[in-house]
Copies of this chain bind each other. A is one copy, B any other.
Amino acid sequence: MLKKESLEIVETRYFTFAEPPHPLKLQSGRSIGPVTLAYETYGRLNAEKTNAILVCHALSGDAHAAGLSPDDRTPGWWDGLIGPGRALDTNRYFVICSNVIGGCKGSTGPSSPNPETGRPYALDFPMITIADMVEAQRHLIDHLGIDKLFCVIGGSMGGMQTLQWASAYPDRVLSAIPIATALKHSPQQIAFNEVIRQAIMADPAWRKGSYYDAGQPENGLALARMIGHITFMSDQSMEEKFSRRLKKENLSFQFTDDFEVEGYLRYRGYNFVKRFDANSYLYITKALDYFDLSGLHFIPAVKSTSIRFLVISFKSDWLYPSYQSQEIVRALKRKHAYTTYFDLVSTYGHDAFLIEIEDETRLIRNFLANVGQS
């Protein structure tokens, strides 16, 4: 029933702004410009420009959230959720997704040419934050002529951007759906990101970030991603997928990958090297760690009450545990915001936000229908 027709080929577009002498001011105090954002749109913006939904992606995501890519017809990373008749129904909504600043999928990031040198920024790229990502997106939304977003939605880091939108621009957001996310990174989340960064930076091929002529720090980046993958899955989903199955008939008694789970991690790790820039991984993990909307930083009560929130978490997600979503809900309730919360049963761990499309569709569709009526 959910499987309506998919979107066709979707072209990624590019929007460049903040040309000097008017660069984008960043939270660090530094500036950067020009800035390009890669973005895709699905569906049509209505005449009143009131049907726009901004989709925010997670750590290693990109602007290609739905439809098929022109080159190899790869479906978008949330294709099951976006399309005609789907939860983000492109017959009704104008859906936008842009690659974050700091990324490596067409938006300006550490692998982009530094206009001052003509060579990749590498570590001369300024540190960026979730607020900076949102600020860049805000320029894109202005460019598209949209005054108020019908909805901002995203999982994981996309959920942080969603919360940041509601916090920084409460007048420009009608509804917000933060999924499997947090108001701030816990020390455990920071710790995992720190070992991930150290895995990259310990690789001599990283060359203090200036590896672009020589190629990626493959081993370090693959290892970093392998660590990440463990945290994306749950103990149970790993048991269901791999148990203790061996790759060969017997234990090798060698330092090789005896177990299927080891081979899977290596495959996923080294595959990641082909598609993601190591420095972007460093910058984006730091943005995650710096994020903190707890305490006094969240939306002013008077503004937040006008935004409708749908908060979703997954019971087996131990990277962004349900209690962190419940902290979001408590913070919103304190501000008297209209808030609906679901803690969904799933065995998929943090990956659930990309996998549990059917449950998400049901919740999001109902929620958006009510937003439309209010």
Contact = CB atoms under 8 A, between A and B. Distances in A.
Interface of A: 28-30, 123, 126-127, 184-188, 190-192, 194-195, 197-199, 201-204, 219-220, 223, 226-227, 229-230, 233, 235, 238-239, 241-244, 251, 253-255, 257-262, 265, 282, 286, 289-290, 292, 318, 321
B318 A123 contact: no
B259 A190 contact: yes
A233 B198 CA distance: 19
Contacts of A286: 255
Contacts of A233: 188
Contact of A188 (B188, B204, B235, B253): B235
Contact of A259 (B199, B242, B255, B289): B289
A255 B123 CA distance: 9
A364 to B, nearest CB: 28
Number of this chain's copies in the assembly equals: 2
Nearest to A29: B253
Nearest to A185: B244
A219 B206 CA distance: 14
A265 B191 contact: yes
B257 A127 contact: no
Listed residue (A239, A257, A259, A260) with the most chain B CB atoms within 10 angstroms of its CB: A259
Given A185-B244, A230-B188, A223 B197 contact: no
A338 B259 CA distance: 34
A127 B226 CA distance: 24
A197 B254 CA distance: 12
B191 A244 contact: no
Listed residue (A184, A186, A197, A201) with the most chain B CB atoms within 10 angstroms of its CB: A186
Given A239-B186, A244-B190, A195 B227 contact: yes
